Amino acid sequence: MSIITSLVQRYRGPTRIYECRRCGTTLRASDDACVACGASSIAVYDV
């Protein structure tokens, strides 16, 4: 049933991956620039 699916999704919550487009370093949501190379171009993936 869809009720169970919605409960599972609520429990897990949305997961986002922040990754530098230049060097591929994984960043935190609070980072507005790459901590490794300083690039401000950050890719966001919903998984």
Look up residue 23 and give its two tokens: 């060097």
Query: Which CB sits closer to Zn ion, 9 or 21?
Result: 21
- For residues 20 and 37, is the Cβ–Cβ distance under 8 A? yes
Query: Which CB sits closer to Zn ion, 9 or 40?
Result: 40
- CA 42, CA 47: separation in Å to the nearest integer? 16
Which positions lie near Zn ion, rule CB under 5 A?
A: 20, 22-23, 25, 34, 36-37, 39
- CA 10, CA 46: separation in Å to the nearest integer? 15
Query: Which CB sits closer to Zn ion, 7 or 36?
Result: 36
C-beta of 11: minimal distance to Zn ion in Å? 32
